[in-house]
Structures are given as structure tokens and as C-alpha cells.
Amino acid sequence: MRTVTELALVLACASIGALATWKIAGPPSRVVACDPATISPDEICLATVQAEWKKGSFLWIDARPAAEWKLNGIPGSISLTTIGDKSFDEQVEASLEKLGTAERALVYCGSASCGISKEVVKHLNERGFIPEVRALHGGWDTLKQAGLVTDSSPAN
Amino acid sequence: MKVALICSLAACLPLAAGTLKFDQTKKEVTVGNDDKTVTVDYEFKNETDSEASIEKYDAGCPCATVGVKDSKMTYQPGETGTVRIAFDLGMVPGTMDKAVAIYLKGDSANHPSVTLNTHIIVPALVEVEPKSLMWDLGSTPEPKTVTITMKHSEPIKIVSMTGADPRFKQELKTIEEGKKYEVVITPASTEKVGMGVVHLETDCKFERHRSQRVFMVVRKPLAKPATAAAAAAKTTP
């Protein structure tokens, strides 16, 4: 009987500890934080884009697999990625009219850790079409949290 | 007193999870000319006194498949294991940096205990420099040159050049057969915005390097960024 009581006491104390942690630190955060001072130079925070880049003045580039872009890419975006069976230049050729005239481009990929958007930035800078190309910090996760994902076709 | 001690220990239970120590968390690999995938292993050991569990791993992109040897996710003190990552290399030569997050039991949602960073080098056997040529609208339609240098130990020849765009005239020059070529491109006019592509086919036996493209763009002159313009004005005597 005493063992059971002690066990119950241990469990109760552990639960109180966990509950206190939840109350003090809050629930697990899934928000993608973005501090312009700490991100890499080829990245940009969505807040900076919304504050400083005029709406409609830049090209959205979806660096996720082409199938995902077709499903729900940002309206008006183009698909350009380093994964899959198409060469980068083949994809560039398909969107040359847009890439050749854009003055700014914002590249996003599937998550904060995907890294593909930065690769696309690097390859576009090597080609030199667009004066300013940045990778969106947090990628798709950031867009979802900001309510910019409409689940409609990118052609719209 | 005894009860208080037990309670204190119990309250610390969530903090007692073990951790894993990786031999290396950064690796660099150079892949073969026609490799489609590359596999990289990261060895680890539980050097703590507590059990450690891998809860999940996140490659962040569909270009990597992550697994733990024998699907074993829980490690007792002293036990060793291996995280194996298979990267899909795609069709783009150059370098790439891939990060895989390893979440251990007790990690919060966005803060993995370990991040494994892999620097992958996919050698470029055909170097095209520059990859694109640009003329400002209304500028002199002067010829510009692209140099193609073969970086392979064996010769790679350009077997064809296509891109029959009347807006651009192109000429292929052989500098050294199998080693170095030049393509001289001249826009017929710079009065209108226009884009064109030259396709270069080589006899390279590796698919990733066989076809090359050069892009040409006639576009509106870009406005100088305010900061650059200010700096230029400052240095002008």
C-alpha cells in the first residue's frame, strides 16, 4: 500500500512539474521566428517583404517539387527547383519571359530547413537575370502561418 | 524528508533524458560524374547515463531519405548507432548544402538536439561562363562572348549549336577541340525587349552535363539602387 502511495506521489509530482513547465514556457511553439539580424544574407523575412517590397513588383518562385507547385503554388508563381529530373536551365528556359524581366524575386521551398530555395537563389545569381533574389525564411511554413496559402492553382 | 527528496527527483524526471554524441555533424562528399544519389552515414554513441531516444528526423526536403540503422530508435548508455541519409542529386551540377535535423526525446518543436550538415559537390564537367548575356534596351547591339571550358580529363566536343532566333546572331568558335570553345552572340537590334536561348549539345557521356544553354536578354535598363547611387555620388569629385 505504501509503495502504491509513493508511486502515486511521484507521478503526481512529475505531472505538476510538467504542467508548471507548460504554464511558464507555454505550449510548443510552431511559429517560424525570423530576425533580420540573424538570418543569412540570401534570406529575407516575410515581414520585411510585406513592409518594403511593393505588392506585385516581384516574382514568386516555388522551389518545391513541380508537382507540389502545380497543386497549390502561390498564384502567379513559377516553378524552379534543383530537385527532380529536369535540369535547372531547362526550367529557366520555360519561364524565361518572366525571369528576364523581373527586378526582384522571392523564392520559397517546403520548410525552414529545406535549403532548396537558397540553392535556387545561388543558381539565379549565377545567371544574373534578376538584380535581387532572396529566399523566404521559413518557406512554406511561413506562408501558411501568414494565411497566404490559398490551395489554388499557381496559374490563377 | 524522504518524501520531499522523492518529490524533488520526480519533478526533475522530464530533464533526465539522455543525449547522443555524433562523431561528426558536418561532412563533405564529392560524387561521381553520373551518380544519381549519394549515401552519407553519421555515427553516434550514447555517452550519457540515461536512455536516449530519437523521436523523429527531418530532412526538410524530399531530396533526402533519412533512416536509422536497423530502425533502432532507443539507445541505452554506451550503445552506438548510425543515421544514414540518401540524397537525390537531381540534374544540377555544383555544390549543395543539406541539413537534416535529429529530434531526441524532450526536444521542443523547432529546436532539434542535433543538425547534420552535408556539403555535396557535384563536379561540373562543362563550364559555361557567363551563363547569360544582357543588353540594355537602346544600347549598342555589340557582340558578347561566352566561353565553354571542358573540365573533364577526357575531351568533350560540342556537336551542335541550335537556337534559330532571328533576334540574335550566334557564332561558335573552336579554341581547342574538346577543351575550349567560344560562342559570340550579337543581338540584331536592341530596340525591343527580347529573350533568346542557345542550345549546345556535347558528346559528354554523362547525361547531367550533356546539354548546356546560354540565355540572352535585351531588357529595360535597371534603376540604380538608392544606396549604390548615393555611394557613387559621394565618391564623385
Q: Is A43-145 in CATH node 3.50.50.60?
A: no
Of B13, B62, B195, the CB nearest to A96: B195
Of A21, A32, A92, the CB nearest to B215: A92
Those residues whose C-beta lies under 8 Å from the C-beta of residue B160, and which sit 6 or more positions away, are: B199, B200, B201
The stretch A34-52 carries a mean pLDDT of: 94
Angle (CA) B228-B232-B139 rounded to 5° is 80
The stretch A131-152 carries a mean pLDDT of: 90
- Domains present along chain B, CATH in parentheses: 17-122 (2.60.40.10), 126-219 (2.60.40.10)
How far is Cα A6 from Cα B12, in angstroms, rounded to an integer? Answer: 16
The stretch B185-194 carries a mean pLDDT of: 94
pLDDT for residue A113? 78
How far is Cα A112 from Cα B170, in angstroms, rounded to an integer? Answer: 43
Residues of chain B whose beta carbon is less than 8 angstroms from a beta carbon of chain A are 3, 6-7, 9-14, 58-63, 88, 90-92, 94, 96-99, 101, 108-110, 130-132, 134, 193, 195, 197, 208, 211-213, 215, 217, 219-220, 222, 225
pLDDT at B48 exceeding the cut of 70: yes
Per-residue pLDDT of A81-128, as tens digits, reads 998 889 999 999 999 999 999 999 999 998 877 889 999 999 999 999
Which chain B residues have a beta carbon less than 8 Å from that of A109?
61
How far is Cα B74 from Cα B53, in angstroms, rounded to an integer? Answer: 4
Q: Report how far apart the first and last C-alpha atoms of chain A are (Å, whole number).
A: 69
- Rounded to two decimals, the pTM is 0.81
pLDDT for residue A29? 53
Q: How many Å lie between the alpha carbon of B116 and the closest alpha carbon of chain A?
A: 11
The stretch B138-145 carries a mean pLDDT of: 96
Residue B213's nearest CA partner among A94, A121, A28 is A94
pLDDT at A54 exceeding the cut of 80: yes
Per-residue pLDDT of A60-89, as tens digits, reads 999 999 999 999 999 999 999 998 889 999
How far is Cα B196 from Cα B208, in angstroms, rounded to an integer? Answer: 22
Per-residue pLDDT of B117-141, as tens digits, reads 999 999 999 999 999 999 999 999 9
